Amino acid sequence: MNKSDSSHAFTPELARSIYRKAYLINRTDQRFRAMLTNGELAVAYYPVRGQEVTAAAAMSALQPEDYLVTTYRGLHDSLAKGIPSRLLWAEFAGKRTGTCKGKGGPMHITYPPTGVMVTTGIVGSGIPIANGLAMAAQIRGENRVAVASFGDGASNIGAFHEALNMASVWKLPVVFLCQNNQYAEHTTLAAGTSVTSIAERAAGYGMPGVSCDGLDPEMMYQTMAAAVARARAGDGPTLVEAHTYRLQGHIFGADYSYIPKEELKAAEERASMMRLRQRISERQVTESDLAQIEQEVDAEIEDAVAFALKSDPPDPDEIRFDIYETEQAA
């Protein structure tokens, strides 16, 4: 991977945009958890706190028309891939104005206009589906790339292994983005995974595997951009392992006392928004730029929350639609 490639330069404009995405993810997650805590909403939610920078930087390496397949823990990916806040919030709240008319919910976000094609609640299953998106682009001679985003635990399921092999054999324009947040539910990487670096697994499938610090916006962006460029050039898939961290329990409200205090504290520092802000400000992004981004994002979230809360839930009759092309009888 050529990190000094000027086409992947970490410009001030890019730094600003990554900060915006990361801040949006961070505040959306925070606001959503607050609403779950105070009972304004009651849904299953897989927090993304700690993984903001990973998604913000990785998705910045994509074009809007590139495809993304993500998981139940996908709020960060969805926002970074450009889903409008209002539609996302309304879907999270189960409203008819949501991306999926309230039929999908937080675990099943889809929004083709910005390339978010599938969000799956089945660990690892999105990986072969991303291959299919890439295969279609390959057959059609389009210049699009597909990204499968998944966790460290997902690299232990069969679908991962079948999909990497197939993608390599067919040189598909796909990037496998493993967000290694060190835990699969309560199971540590060491307890459940035969390798210490997931990127090593790429060797078994004849493709490059690269690890990077997923909390470093520049490293994350450039690693991803190189993999995307490789896929777009027709040179085949890459397994990118982003070292990141899950700063909450697996699911909102779940106990996470099994995470050692020291480890959590160190990760909190590495993944802190203050640290990101500092790094971004070293990139010719001014304090007033940052303050303006924050103000805009805060307003965007408040507007989206209000939109979601005042929107109507789906009509019960809506259940008959979208099972098949033709509606089903009552």
Partner 1 sequence: MSGKTISFGQALNAALDDAMADDGNVMILGEDVADEQGGGVFKVSKGLSSKYGTSRVRSTPISEQAILGAAVGAAIIGMRPVAEIMLMNFITVAMDQLVNHAAKLRFMSGGQTNVPLVVRTTTGAGVGFGGQHSDMLEAWFAHVPGLKIATASNPADAYGLLRSAIDDEDPVILIENITHYGMTGPAPEAGYRVPLGKAAIAREGRDVTLVTYGRGVGDSLKAASLLADEGIAAEVIDLRTIAPWDEQAVFASVAKTKRAVIVHEAVRPFGAGAEISARIHEELFSDLLAPVQRVASYPSPVPFAKPLETAFLYSVDDIVRAAHATTDKAINS
Ligand X SMILES: Cc1ncc(C[n+]2csc(CCOP(=O)(O)OP(=O)(O)O)c2C)c(N)n1
Residues that bind ligand X (CB under 6 A): 73, 121-123, 150-154, 181, 183-185, 246, 250
Q: Which does 112 bind (CB under 5 to 8 A by kind): ligand X, partner 1, Mg ion, none?
A: partner 1
For the segment 88-117, give every residue that binds partner 1 (CB under 8 A).
98-104, 108, 110-112, 117
The least distance separating ligand X from the CB of residue 313, rounded to whole angstroms, comes to 26
The least distance separating partner 1 from the CB of residue 96, rounded to whole angstroms, comes to 9
Instruction: Give yes or no for residue 166 binding partner 1 (CB under 8 A).
Output: yes
Q: Which does 297 bind (CB under 5 to 8 A by kind): Mg ion, ligand X, partner 1, none?
A: none
The least distance separating partner 1 from the CB of residue 131, rounded to whole angstroms, comes to 5
Work out whether strand 116-120 and strand 174-180 pair parallel, antiparallel, or are unpaired.
unpaired
Q: Which does 252 bind (CB under 5 to 8 A by kind): ligand X, partner 1, Mg ion, none?
A: none
The least distance separating partner 1 from the CB of residue 108, rounded to whole angstroms, comes to 4
Residues sharing a CB contact under 8 Å with residue 257, sequence separation 6 or more, in sequence order: none
The least distance separating ligand X from the CB of residue 250, rounded to whole angstroms, comes to 6
User: Among residues 325, 324, 309, which one has the least CA distance to residue 97?
Assistant: 309
Residues sharing a CB contact under 8 Å with residue 176, sequence separation 6 or more, in sequence order: 127, 130, 147, 148, 150, 160, 163, 164, 167, 237, 238, 239, 240
Count the neighbouring beta carbons within 10 Å of the beta carbon of residue 191. 9
Nearer CB in complex with Mg ion: 59/154:
154
Residues sharing a CB contact under 8 Å with residue 330, sequence separation 6 or more, in sequence order: 317, 320
Nearer CB in complex with ligand X: 155/222:
155
Nearer CB in complex with partner 1: 110/281:
110
For the segment 8-67, give every residue that binds partner 1 (CB under 8 A).
67
The least distance separating partner 1 from the CB of residue 74, rounded to whole angstroms, comes to 13
Instruction: Give yes or no for residue 283 binding partner 1 (CB under 8 A).
Output: no
Instruction: Give yes or no for residue 152 binding Mg ion (CB under 5 A).
Output: yes
Residues 64, 67, 72, 75, Cα dihedral to 10°: -10
The least distance separating ligand X from the CB of residue 244, rounded to whole angstroms, comes to 9
Measure the CA–CA gap between 174 and 232, rounded to whole angstroms. Answer: 8
Residue 197 exposure: Cα atoms within 13 Å on the Cβ side? 12
Q: Which residues on neighbouring strands pair with residue 187, listed in sequence order?
A: 184
Place of tokens 């609403």: 35
Q: Which does 73 bind (CB under 5 to 8 A by kind): Mg ion, ligand X, partner 1, none?
A: ligand X
Place of tokens 């699009």: 144
Print the binding letters for residues 304-323 with partner 1: x by CB under 8 A, - otherwise: -----------------xxx
DSSP letters of 206-256?
TS-EEEEETTSHHHHHHHHHHHHHHHHTT---EEEEEE----S-SSTT---
Q: Which of 33, 82, 170, 200 binds partner 1 (CB under 8 A)?
A: 170
Q: Tokens standing for 178?
A: 């493993």
Q: Which does 190 bind (CB under 5 to 8 A by kind): Mg ion, partner 1, ligand X, none?
A: none
Measure the CA–CA gap between 252 and 273, rounded to whole angstroms. Answer: 20
Measure the CA–CA gap between 84 and 111, rounded to whole angstroms. Answer: 9
The least distance separating partner 1 from the CB of residue 233, rounded to whole angstroms, comes to 18
Site residues (CB under 5 A) for Mg ion?
151-153, 181, 183-184
